[in-house]
Amino acid sequence: MNGTNVPAIEIEHLTVSYGQVAALLDISVAIGAGQLVGIIGPNGSGKSTLVKAILGFLRPDLGRVRIFGQPLERAAGRVAYVPQRGAVDWDFPVTVREVALMGRYGRIPWWREPSADDYRAADEALETVRMAEYRDRRIGQLSGGQQQRVFMARAMAQGAEILLLDEPFAGVDAATERAILEVLSRMRAAGRTLVVVHHDLATAAEYFDNLLLIKQRLYAYGPPPAVLDQELLAEVYEGRLRVFSRLLAGRGEEP
């Protein structure tokens, strides 16, 4: 793990566009190691684009991303990705253990079969997310929340210090959401840095150490009370939010 004060993720003047349409504009932010960070913003604000730029899936027009002080191209294996459930073919005939083992593939030369250590790492990751008892089950037979936890195990088996998750709470019930949050908290306690695309402002203050609010550009980054400012959210979301009124009501404040 990172033992210095170097940020886990440092983004400098990041600008990304799709053709003539700007997706991200001049974003600069430093995310410290060992934090659980939520990325929030309205639909189409560039949240998933930011995650893909951090992963190196997209080439920026301007700016750069550094991982623990190193250029992105030198960060192989240090960053793992848990995609949205809708981006995965759940009918693919693969078991839970085989999915977790995929996290080891970057460490295995093409001519070698997975070793006992690789299987041990996959099994330990499944234990951590409490999915070990399902290891021989087909991934398509699991619930949505169980599938998310298996993909988190795959990322953990990779040995990555940073995990990027795109809407892990989408489409799951409250009990499953809590189970996923418990796994994230356990991973943070182990020293990993977690960056999560999140859409629910009502739970953002409870779930994350810091929040990153974007709509093409960066509007705020910091502790939830500072970012979940009523005027700031009204500007970003272009109107008064019912969900934010619920959030205020939960704090005992006047909406």
Query: Model confidence over 205-246: pLDDT tens digits?
Result: 999 999 999 999 999 999 999 999 988 998 998 865 655 555
> Torsion angle of alpha carbons 179, 185, 186, 192, nearest 10°?
130
What are the respective helix, strand and coil percentages of the chain, to the nearest 5? 40, 25, 35
Contact 42, 215 (CB under 8 A): yes
Question: Which tens digits make up the pLDDT trace of 124-172?
Answer: 999 988 899 999 999 888 888 888 889 889 988 988 899 999 988 887 8
Q: What gap in Å lies between CA 49 and CA 247, rounded to an integer?
A: 27
The pair of structure tokens assigned to 158 is: 């990779």
Sign of CA dihedral 3, 5, 6, 9: positive
Q: What gap in Å lies between CA 115 and CA 121, rounded to an integer?
A: 10
Please report how the helices 174-189 and 144-157 are oriented relative to each other, as an axis angle in degrees rounded to 10. 10
Please classify residue 253 by burial: count the beta carbons closer than 10 Å to its beta carbon, then call 0-12 exposed, 13-18 middle and 19+ buried.
exposed
Contact 135, 90 (CB under 8 A): no
* pLDDT for residue 128: 87
Length of the chain, in residues: 255
- pTM for this entry: 0.86
